[in-house]
């Protein structure tokens, strides 16, 4: 009505509202509609389904589904609850506080005795390093082994589960019987 350009309108909206204002495309769209004769400043109705189906009942249902099987995908939950993918995501992350995390992969689970032995070796290496300096580090040769499987074991993505922020990730052992595998051994020194 004042004949102001849409770029000026956008700046005037951003000054008091910052990031909580209309997007640039929406400002330009409304500007064009007002030039074409629109007078109402209210959103017009539409025939699409409601943007969200976030209700207490749906929140409870999604929560019980996740508690029953933490490996369900958002798409699977959406098909059971019969609401949109985006609404299920909002319920899971915003209302229930879950996040999708992978199990922490470790080569194998160590016994308490093995953990104590590793600690003693580390303390011994630290003591020698402090006594002898960098020359000690140059004399260390270490070795690592890994199994190369003839198939692809379960990926980290396949092991993802829904967890609350306060819950820690599961620990999953990588070792598993396989149809065939080769042991790769690597020796390393300071170079």
Q: Model confidence over 66-114: pLDDT tens digits?
A: 999 988 899 999 999 989 888 898 899 888 988 888 777 676 788 899 9
Q: Is residue 153 part of a domain?
A: yes
Give the count of domains, the chain.
3
pTM for this predicted structure: 0.40
120 and 185 fall within a common domain: yes
Q: Is residue 150 part of a domain?
A: yes
69 and 23 fall within a common domain: no
118 and 155 fall within a common domain: yes
Domain that holds residue 67: 56-95
Q: Is residue 136 part of a domain?
A: yes
CA 178 from chain centre, in angstroms, equals: 30
Q: Is residue 50 part of a domain?
A: no
In the predicted model, what is the mean pLDDT of residues 2-10? 84
Give bridge partners of residue 98 from the DSSP assignment.
164
| pLDDT tens for each residue of 126-176 | 999 999 988 888 888 989 888 787 766 666 666 777 788 777 767 766 655
87 and 18 fall within a common domain: no
Q: Is residue 44 part of a domain?
A: no
Q: How many whole angstroms separate alpha carbon 1 and alpha carbon 39?
A: 10
């Amino acid at each position: 009505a004042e004949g102001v350009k849409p770029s000026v309108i956008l700046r005037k909206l951003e000054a008091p509202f910052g990031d909580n204002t209309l997007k640039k495309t929406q400002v330009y769209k409304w500007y064009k509609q007002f030039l074409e004769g629109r007078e109402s400043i209210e959103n017009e109705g539409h025939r699409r389904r409601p943007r969200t189906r976030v209700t207490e009942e749906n929140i409870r249902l999604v929560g019980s589904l996740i508690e029953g099987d933490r490996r369900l995908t958002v798409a699977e939950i959406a098909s059971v609850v019969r609401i949109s993918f985006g609404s299920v995501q909002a319920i899971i992350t915003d209302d229930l506080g879950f996040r999708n995390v992978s199990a922490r992969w470790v080569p194998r689970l160590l016994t308490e005795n093995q953990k104590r032995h590793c600690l003693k070796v580390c303390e011994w290496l630290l003591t020698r390093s402090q006594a002898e300096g960098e020359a000690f580090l140059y004399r260390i040769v270490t070795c690592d082994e890994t199994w190369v499987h003839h198939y692809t074991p379960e990926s980290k993505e396949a092991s993802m589960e829904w967890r609350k922020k306060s819950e820690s990730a599961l620990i999953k052992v990588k070792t598993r019987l396989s149809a065939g595998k080769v042991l790769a051994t690597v020796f390393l020194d300071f170079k």
